[in-house]
Structure 1
């Protein structure tokens, strides 16, 4: 809840006089001058009354504006692109006098729609009014809402002041997330920990799974029975469950994408990364987002101070504002992955050259599983020109090289569905796709 600022003087009230108020003031001053020239005492009283009304109205409005407070609430704060969000406004009259007619106007960016305007009837003392409006954007990003502007008028319509509240909010338009089917990826389980939680949790003290002593181990973990059996110092394994890790690599290079606006290959790639990241986080993966320039959003560990929803929100907030990069390669991302690329690697890439394909092939060695969405950006090139019937020979060769390096390759074209492509990453679907045909050749 935000209230309006300090007064700026009675001149502000005079500048806020409406046409009616100025007319009354001019008529009053004229009547006073005429009474002085003509010597009419009754005309003087009329003139004083006419001039006093707009001045009293201005004083009333100036006093009322200190006692008006406003607030804004967004539902939700994160809205998927193309879907609506509702903005709720509340105006409280915390004074002891009614406000008269109020006119509200909230400031919103043009991409969210026209500026909403509302006319509120007289608000009783200690009362409030609530209104709401809807916003929608097909373009992801962060959009400021506010400040809220309020026009205060007196009951006679002689004075009108426009003031802005200080509070503002931000609506985050995130990429549209598509639910993905659960699939089984070859080698997808990779993480850390001494043992699998299910194996250790079922073992008692006598059945504890031991390992050899390492420098720095707590001596209280020494398992004396196993030490006597093996003839060397043994300790109990930490009951630390394996945790799946995943990295979503997003290619943001401007030269690697085609098209413009929501129908571009870049926006398709951002939406794909959002859907995959959301899916992996929900399935328990500690997921980080990595871009071609080396920028990464580290995973948020689920625990007492965080949750899966917070991790998803962090990922979507980053994807809401990601923009094209001016880089020409994936070298920085490759360097990050070489120093910590274990686990599942999902890459969403645009147009690649042979050197970049070779680099992705090398990264496959350190990943538990690797899935690549390779965009055929020629199909996004232009809506005026018909798209090619299929990937060109160069792209086909690159896809073959990635498959030979161990990647699960999913070729994406304009209009393709992310859930349908993700379903093809299943090990059973891959086995069926690569099974020998009737002629004995492997299918592609």
Structure 2
């Protein structure tokens, strides 16, 4: 049973394959009473020599056994499936779980009770009562789940409780398959600030890229089966001694690194309204926005690790690798605090990178870490930092003076640094950062570009 995929039958749990002895343990109070009364009547009939009483006793004793046998055979002829719609939802949004029961036997079932195991954070455990299901019939039910906390939550296994029409026996069957619901961080729609240095097809970025690599620039490569013969580059063919074709150079896609500070000592408090959760949601919003704007985006943490399989050097593009973009969101769904004390590993990764936009979400910074963060900015690139003082998130007080010193330290290194206070929307800070950068660039006599914002 794959999340969001087609329904699939689930096999029985191996613990339930206990044979008829386990099935006899499913006799209800009524079934045990009938069995005891039948045995007692048979014994009395034998002692008293009453054949009619013997027939009644045998009927009372055999009826529960017949119900156990029929129900035991029926429970392994009922198939169950589960489907999530969708399998990945933002925190605070609902997903619907669809359950389907198929009676694959030639006999109708009795009363069925479905119970699906879900984590407490997703809501109460759903239970459904299904009336008689005809031979070859199908029943479908659904329920909703919702979580305010991001993460990956298992759904299942599904339990099925069967009753016979006489109420003599009650058996439980568990299905071993389960699904996983991924709750990703909340994302916020960011303002469409005009971007410079974007990929081809995105406003001014195309003109600037073509100024460096025009449409007429060519790079010869070896001929491949299916290439148009009109693209054969004869001069290169004569030079290399093999058939060469022209290959137009593609403009380079603008890059951006989103840095998320996950150090445990940099944040205080917990819960959906904590500073750390704001930083995670902010990183998710920035990733989504920049991918939509045509950037090749990389997610980096203070541990120096980026999302595995996200493409070259960890960068993912929404057009070239949708799976990588989803993988970054899945990573943010389960990201937790790191035990690291500093940002040195992230600094080493960024020091070896090229130019590009850097968007960072920092927790508490001491003087040493602020100096290290200041050196992360590349001379040829631009950087913006959203810095939090987690103490203000607990007390709701004013921004501490130490935070102002850290912001000043980052700004002197060329960062556009903003303080994040409780209740602040990232969209407002995003627009404020663009205005501040434009003002700084105008005062310096430049064209006002912000490595991506202008």
1:409–1:221 distance in 2 versus 1, CA, 3 Å: farther
1:261–1:173 distance in 2 versus 1, CA, 3 Å: same
Answer whether contact 2:82 2:97 (CA < 8 A) is retained: yes
TM-superposed CA distance for 1:5, in Å, is 5.4
Answer whether contact 2:213 2:249 (CA < 8 A) is retained: yes
> For 1:307-340, what per-residue CA distance to the aligned partner results, in whole angstroms no more than 9, with x for missing partners?
5542331111000100011111101111111122
> For 1:406-438, what per-residue CA distance to the aligned partner results, in whole angstroms no more than 9, with x for missing partners?
111121111100111111122x453348988xx
- Tell me the distance in 2 between the aligned counterparts of 1:255 and 1:274: 22
TM-superposed CA distance for 1:139, in Å, is 1.1
1:39–1:124 distance in 2 versus 1, CA, 3 Å: same
Answer whether contact 1:248 1:346 (CA < 8 A) is retained: yes
- Tell me the distance in 1 between the aligned counterparts of 2:318 and 2:189: 26
CA RMSD of aligned residues (A): 3.1
1:96–1:372 distance in 2 versus 1, CA, 3 Å: same
Quick check: 1:329 aligned with 2:339? no
Quick check: 1:29 aligned with 2:42? no
Answer whether contact 1:102 1:119 (CA < 8 A) is retained: yes
Aligned positions, number: 409
Answer whether contact 1:3 1:67 (CA < 8 A) is retained: no
TM-superposed CA distance for 1:388, in Å, is 2.5
Quick check: 1:312 aligned with 2:303? no
- Tell me the distance in 2 between the aligned counterparts of 1:100 and 1:307: 52
- Tell me the distance in 2 between the aligned counterparts of 1:407 and 1:197: 25
Instruction: Using structure 2 for the length normalisation, give the TM-score.
Output: 0.83
Answer whether contact 2:187 2:284 (CA < 8 A) is retained: yes
1:440 matched residue in structure 2:
none
TM-superposed CA distance for 1:60, in Å, is 0.3
Instruction: Using structure 1 for the length normalisation, give the TM-score.
Output: 0.84
TM-superposed CA distance for 1:263, in Å, is 1.4
TM-superposed CA distance for 1:402, in Å, is 1.1
> For 1:158-200, what per-residue CA distance to the aligned partner results, in whole angstroms no more than 9, with x for missing partners?
111111001100011110111111224677789xxxx977569
1:339 matched residue in structure 2:
352
- Tell me the distance in 1 between the aligned counterparts of 2:318 and 2:186: 27
1:379 matched residue in structure 2:
392
- Specify every segment of 5 or more residues in structure 1 that has no aligned partner in the other structure, as ranges: 228-234, 437-444
1:307–1:169 distance in 2 versus 1, CA, 3 Å: farther
Quick check: 1:149 aligned with 2:156? no
1:307–1:84 distance in 2 versus 1, CA, 3 Å: farther
Quick check: 1:369 aligned with 2:379? no
SS of 1:43's equivalent in the other structure is helix
TM-superposed CA distance for 1:366, in Å, is 4.9
1:418 matched residue in structure 2:
426
- Tell me the distance in 2 between the aligned counterparts of 1:403 and 1:202: 36
Quick check: 1:245 aligned with 2:245? no
1:248–1:164 distance in 2 versus 1, CA, 3 Å: same
Answer whether contact 1:282 1:308 (CA < 8 A) is retained: no
1:130–1:408 distance in 2 versus 1, CA, 3 Å: same
1:394–1:303 distance in 2 versus 1, CA, 3 Å: closer
Within 5 Å, give how 1:247-286 maps onto structure 2. 247-286=257-296
Answer whether contact 1:380 1:414 (CA < 8 A) is retained: yes
- Tell me the distance in 1 between the aligned counterparts of 2:316 and 2:404: 44
Match of 1:81 among 81, 91, 94: 91
